[in-house]
Amino acid sequence: MSFNRYVALGDSFTEGVGDPDAQAPNGVRGWADRFAAEMGRINPDFHYANLAIRGRKMRPILAEQVAPALVLRPDLVSIYAGANDVLRPSIDIDALMRDLDRAIGMFKAAGTHVVMFTAFDPGISKIFGQVRGRFAIYSEYVREIAESHQTTLVDFWRLRDYHDSRLWAQDRMHMSSAGHQRMAIAVLDALGKNHSLEPLELVDEPVLSRAEQRRANVTWVSEYAGPWVKRRLTGVSSGDSLSPRWPTLQRPPEFV
């Protein structure tokens, strides 16, 4: 498959949170930028837009991003939506996934190839492992939709190298730069592209004593978990003041 017009849709996963870059829009880079840059190296006619906004739930993603994406007439779209819904206390996951299925159908009807993602398996996390069952149901729905519409599936659930904490940012919620690089490789591989991307070098983490682990956990709650819970209780999103990073198709950004 050859692609020239790629549009990325979704939330923080696709916006690039966890992969900081002060020179990039919204201060992040992310797997989609990394993927697009490599595709641009392979194909000089390749163009890229990224409409993803951190904190967005599935229905706002579908309402705000699908129509603008279709206007751009992409031949390739990636979409990851639903993780922020699954983390809510109560959701109708069946209804949400029906909405996602309809959106994928719209892209397929327009002749667009779609890349989808299951969720990461949070079973190793003491915090997010409590909703592991929900993520498993979500992921099985994604597999079913991907099969029904003959999309490309990146089965994040089965990428066990993400059990390495070095692929996650300090907030323990988003991928690190190494994690985003790994995801860009996973997407290229899933599409069957010959590419030159390599995993980023991982630095050994210091071994912490129990007391140091406790202090690290207290810091994490104060700096990341607490503000995250507060935003959800107050209905505020981390992406409320942000705009899409690359709203129109352009040549992919190049990075050193």
> What string of pLDDT tens digits covers the 256 residues of the chain?
899 999 999 999 999 999 999 999 999 999 999 999 999 999 999 999 999 999 999 999 999 999 999 999 999 999 999 999 998 888 999 999 999 999 999 999 999 999 999 999 998 877 777 889 999 999 999 999 999 999 999 999 999 999 999 999 988 789 999 999 999 999 999 999 999 999 999 988 777 788 877 777 777 667 766 676 677 667 777 778 899 999 999 999 876 4
pLDDT at 16 (0 to 100): 97
Nearest alpha carbon to residue 168 among 211, 137, 125: 125
pLDDT at 89 (0 to 100): 81
* CA 20 to centroid of chain Cα atoms: 15
pTM for the predicted model, two decimal places? 0.91
Q: DSSP letter string over 118-146?
A: PPP-GGG-TTGGGGHHHHHHHHHHHHHHH
Alpha carbon distance 18, 104 (integer Å): 27
Edge-to-edge strands, sheet with 47-50: 152-154, 113-117, 76-80, 5-10, 47-50, 246-250
Nearest alpha carbon to residue 25 among 42, 3, 8: 8
For 30: left if phi > 0, alpha if psi spans -120 to 50, otherwise beta; the answer is left
pLDDT at 254 (0 to 100): 79
pLDDT at 88 (0 to 100): 85
Cβ pair 48, 252 in contact under 8 A: yes
pLDDT at 256 (0 to 100): 44
pLDDT at 233 (0 to 100): 64
Task: Please state the φ and ψ torsions of residue 96, each to the nearest 5 degrees.
Answer: -60, -45
Given CA atoms 15, 18, 22, 23 in this order, what sign does their dihedral have? Answer: negative
Alpha carbon distance 8, 24 (integer Å): 16
pLDDT at 245 (0 to 100): 96
